[in-house]
């Protein structure tokens, strides 16, 4: 028994290269530079048996991600998918837009907090997921559950959602709601993902604004944490003239700096640390950058599309 994890997409919203990004890194990626491999948008597939898969987030690149990973191809009959469910960690475009690729009356179960489900409910385009075939199931914070197929067969995983510091999705920001733009606790969650019938587990936290003491205690000694790798430094988009927002403004802690993730994880004894959800401005995307060397020297791995992990 083991937990099989496939990184379908390792980049943040926009992917790498992002459609309108013309920085050197993006140009290298488009030119096929082997040190700048493209990365699609943020998503994992996880399985306990290697046959039945649960998606963790559904990115706009999902159609291609399925085509690129034979484990996710149909295996039998005229219509079939090894994907039986989707678990969402927030309502961001990079994490929910891929649901639209999962139409065509295929039985599925979509899990999210009540808050994120209410966002899907308010956007009628998601009704292309025919409710006769696709269940929407609410996850309660701090309550572990077993993701199951539409007809109730457990997929062999145990998933526990918990709130992490973050920000409401960009398109839901309320400018009149103060400094947090109307963010509520259920907007951004982390997940503990475990085998139901085994000991293997990991944490998946693709968006996180701060590593609180409580979160640090939770992650202490974990065998694997896949963590928000959006930015190298808080002001990198401003410095690169790629945008006006800091990481802090976007609800993402950065890798570096005194409150950055590399420093925050230093004493936690997490055995394997992998950055995921990496923005197109982050120099760690380049295999030959000094920043990549620095992150690796600090014990971190940089996720890439097609990365397979067995816990
Ligand atoms: C984020 O992770 O901050 C969002 O996905 C940004 C976006 O909506 O592009
Ligand atoms: Mn995102």
Locate the ligand 1 atom nearest the alpha carbon of residue 171 and give its number: 8
Q: Which residue has the tokens 């082997």?
A: 34
Ligand with smallest separation from the Cα of 245: 1
Is any atom of ligand 1 closer than 6 Å to the C-beta of 12? yes
Is any atom of ligand 1 closer than 6 Å to the C-beta of 94? yes
* Ligand 1 center from residue 49 Cα (angstroms): 32
What is the structure's pLDDT at 279? 98
- Residue whose CA lies nearest to ligand 1 atom number 9: 13
Question: What pTM was estimated for this model as a whole?
Answer: 0.98
Other C-beta atoms lying within 10 Å of the C-beta of residue 288? 12
Is any atom of ligand 1 closer than 6 Å to the C-beta of 195? no
Pocket probe mutation, ligand 1, options 20, 21, 166, 169, max atoms within 8 Å of Cβ = 169
Is any atom of ligand 1 closer than 6 Å to the C-beta of 172? no
* Ligand 1 center from residue 212 Cα (angstroms): 21
Is any atom of ligand 1 closer than 6 Å to the C-beta of 166? no
Q: How far apart are CA 146 and CA 144, in angstroms?
A: 7
Show Cβ contacts of residue 94 under 8 Å, excluding neighbours closer than 6 positions: 12, 13, 14, 41, 42, 57, 59, 60, 277
What is the structure's pLDDT at 1? 75
* Ligand 2 center from residue 47 Cα (angstroms): 23
Q: What distance, in Å, lies between the first and last C-alpha atoms of the chain?
A: 9
- Residue whose CA lies nearest to ligand 1 atom number 5: 13
The series of mean pLDDT values per 10 residues for the chain, 311 residues long, is 95 98 97 98 97 98 98 97 98 98 96 98 96 97 98 98 97 95 97 96 98 98 98 97 96 97 97 98 98 98 98 96
Is any atom of ligand 1 closer than 6 Å to the C-beta of 250? yes
The CA distances from residue 251 to 46, 243, 260, 293, in Å, are 26, 15, 13, 26
Is any atom of ligand 1 closer than 6 Å to the C-beta of 92? yes
């Amino acid at each position: 028994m083991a937990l099989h994890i496939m990184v379908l997409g390792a980049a943040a919203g926009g992917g790498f290269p992002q459609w309108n990004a013309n920085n050197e890194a993006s140009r290298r990626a488009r030119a096929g530079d082997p040190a700048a491999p493209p990365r699609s948008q943020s998503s994992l597939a996880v399985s306990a048996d290697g046959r039945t898969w649960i998606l963790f987030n559904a990115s706009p690149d999902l159609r291609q991600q399925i085509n690129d990973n034979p484990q996710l191809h149909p295996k039998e009959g005229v219509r079939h998918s090894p994907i039986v469910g989707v678990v969402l960690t927030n309502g961001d475009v990079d994490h929910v837009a891929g649901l639209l690729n999962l139409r065509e009356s295929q039985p599925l179960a979509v899990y999210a907090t009540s808050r994120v489900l209410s966002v899907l409910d308010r956007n009628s385009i998601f009704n292309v997921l025919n409710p006769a075939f696709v269940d929407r199931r609410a996850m309660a914070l701090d309550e572990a559950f077993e993701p199951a197929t539409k007809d109730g067969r457990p997929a062999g995983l145990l998933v526990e959602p918990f709130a992490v510091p973050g920000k409401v999705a960009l398109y839901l920001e309320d400018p009149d709601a103060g400094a947090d733009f109307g963010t509520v606790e259920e907007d951004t969650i982390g997940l503990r993902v475990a085998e139901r019938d085994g000991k293997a587990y990991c944490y998946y936290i693709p968006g996180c604004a701060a590593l609180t003491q409580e979160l640090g205690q939770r992650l202490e000694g974990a065998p694997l944490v896949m963590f928000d790798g959006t930015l190298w430094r808080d002001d990198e988009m401003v410095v690169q003239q790629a945008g006006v927002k800091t990481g802090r403004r976007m609800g993402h802690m950065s890798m570096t700096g005194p409150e950055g993730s590399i420093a925050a994880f230093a004493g936690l004894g997490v055995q394997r640390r992998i950055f995921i959800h990496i923005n197109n401005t982050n120099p760690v995307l380049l295999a030959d950058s000094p920043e990549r060397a620095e992150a690796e020297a600090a014990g971190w791995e940089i996720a890439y599309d097609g990365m397979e992990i067995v816990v």
